[in-house]
């Protein structure tokens, strides 16, 4: 991924039409984007042998780094548990959180965060051992359920149990690895988590011994976030993600983005900075979106690379498809 940095346009060019706000100025002064890392969630964020994060969420961070600094390798990862995410962002330890982060009212209003476009529409589910003979969540009455602390999963479990008059005993852990180990050791009858992450967990288990129940008990819009109070940085994060959505819709890929620079399609010209002043209006180079797409590809490419049919998760696009293909992924136009 580091080699891509030398291929990108506009690395040193800084738009002069808009002054850099506090976060953009800080990122440029450090010459890296401080972004959240994950302890380990297959498809969404897993450290490789060099400590580099790999997955959908890290690629969102790389896209922002490429848009701002011209180089997707200029990201410094801070591995965060679910409980640490909010305070790390509030304190300025990280510039952005992209870590299977559910967008909620409390997090946006009371915690002072701002969420960008949802990058994965998810929902909470349950995994059980097949030998237990449980086929539906309604059969978990009296069960012990492993759940992570500091996440929406804990509250969702309590709400679901109360609403459905089901008695469960939560067993709460701060670290996702501790939660998984507890379930595997038999300490819990079930483990509840976002269904996409359960799919990743299931792919690592002995085939045929465990199953994910069909019920989804919550809405989990997984969405990157920044601190409130810096409108420019919020715009940069949000429109970089929208650029990845628009690129997929327009057929602009990591492989053909250079050819697309000569496209006569006005939408593609504006996206890639051939026409318009969209990057400079945010304090960025005109090729901000080009740099992001060249670094990580469009949204569909990111999805296929980490979650698609050739990965252990093999998740269907479903509601995470483009709006014009039956999904919920929708971006405002760049114009």
Residue 153 CB partners (closer than 8 Å, separation 6+): 124, 147, 192, 193, 194
pTM of the model: 0.91
User: pLDDT tens for residues 64-90?
Assistant: 999 999 999 999 999 998 889 999 999
User: pLDDT tens for residues 138-155?
Assistant: 999 999 999 988 789 999
Helix (H) / strand (E) containing 24: helix 22-30
Confidence of residue 8 (pLDDT cuts 50, 70, 90): very low
User: pLDDT tens for residues 23-60?
Assistant: 999 999 999 999 999 988 899 999 999 989 999 999 99
Nearest CA to 13 out of 73, 68, 60 is that of 68
Partners of 244 in beta bridges: none
Residue 14 has pLDDT above 50, yes or no: no
What is the average pLDDT across 113-120?
Answer: 98
**Average pLDDT of the chain to the nearest whole number:** 93
Using alpha carbons, list the distances in angstroms from residue 294 to 225, 260, 263, 301: 23, 11, 16, 11
* DSSP states of 121-145: EE-EEEEEEGGGT--SGGGGTT-EE
What is the average pLDDT across 245-249?
Answer: 98
User: Taking a C-beta distance cutoff of 8 angstroms, is the pair 334, 267 a contact?
Assistant: yes
Tell me what percent of the residues of the chain surpass a pLDDT of 90: 89
Confidence of residue 174 (pLDDT cuts 50, 70, 90): confident
What is the reported pLDDT for 17? 61
Residue 94 has pLDDT above 70, yes or no: yes
Nearest CA to 330 out of 288, 286, 294, 299 is that of 299
The Cα–Cα gap between 72 and 62 comes to 5
Residue 1 has pLDDT above 60, yes or no: no
Q: Which domains does the chain have, with CATH numbers?
A: 22-119+223-325 (3.40.190.10), 122-220 (3.40.190.10)
């Amino acid at each position: 991924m580091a080699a891509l940095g030398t291929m990108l346009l506009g690395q040193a060019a800084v738009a002069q039409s808009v002054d850099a706000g506090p976060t953009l100025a800080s990122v440029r002064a450090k010459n890296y984007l401080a972004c959240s890392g994950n302890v380990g969630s297959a498809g969404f964020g897993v450290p490789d042998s060099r400590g580099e994060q790999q997955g959908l969420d890290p690629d969102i961070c790389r896209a922002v780094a490429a848009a701002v600094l011209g180089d997707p390798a200029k990201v410094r990862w801070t591995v965060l548990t679910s409980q640490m995410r909010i305070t790390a962002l509030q304190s300025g330890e990280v510039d952005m959180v992209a870590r299977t982060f559910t967008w909620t009212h409390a997090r946006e209003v009371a915690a002072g965060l701002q969420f960008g476009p949802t990058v994965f529409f998810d929902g909470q589910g349950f995994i059980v051992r097949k030998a237990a003979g449980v086929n539906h969540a309604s059969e978990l009455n009296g069960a012990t359920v492993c759940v992570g602390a500091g996440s929406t999963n804990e509250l969702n479990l309590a709400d679901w149990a109360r609403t459905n008059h089901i008695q469960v005993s939560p067993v709460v852990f701060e670290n996702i690895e501790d939660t998984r180990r507890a379930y595997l050791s038999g300490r819990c009858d079930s483990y509840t988590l976002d269904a996409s992450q359960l799919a990743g967990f299931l792919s690592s288990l002995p085939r045929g011994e465990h199953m994910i129940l069909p019920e989804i008990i919550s809405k989990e819009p997984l969405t990157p976030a920044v601190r409130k109070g810096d409108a420019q940085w919020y715009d940069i994060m949000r429109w970089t993600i929208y650029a990845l959505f628009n690129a997929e819709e327009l057929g602009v890929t990591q492989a053909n983005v250079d050819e697309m620079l000569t496209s006569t399609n006005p939408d593609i010209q504006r996206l890639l900075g051939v026409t318009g002043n969209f990057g400079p209006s945010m304090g960025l180079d005109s090729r901000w979106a080009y740099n992001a797409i060249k670094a990580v590809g469009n949204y569909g490419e990111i999805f296929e690379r980490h979650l698609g049919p050739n990965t252990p998760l093999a998740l269907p696009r479903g509601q995470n498809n483009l709006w014009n293909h039956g999904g919920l992924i929708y971006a405002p136009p760049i114009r």
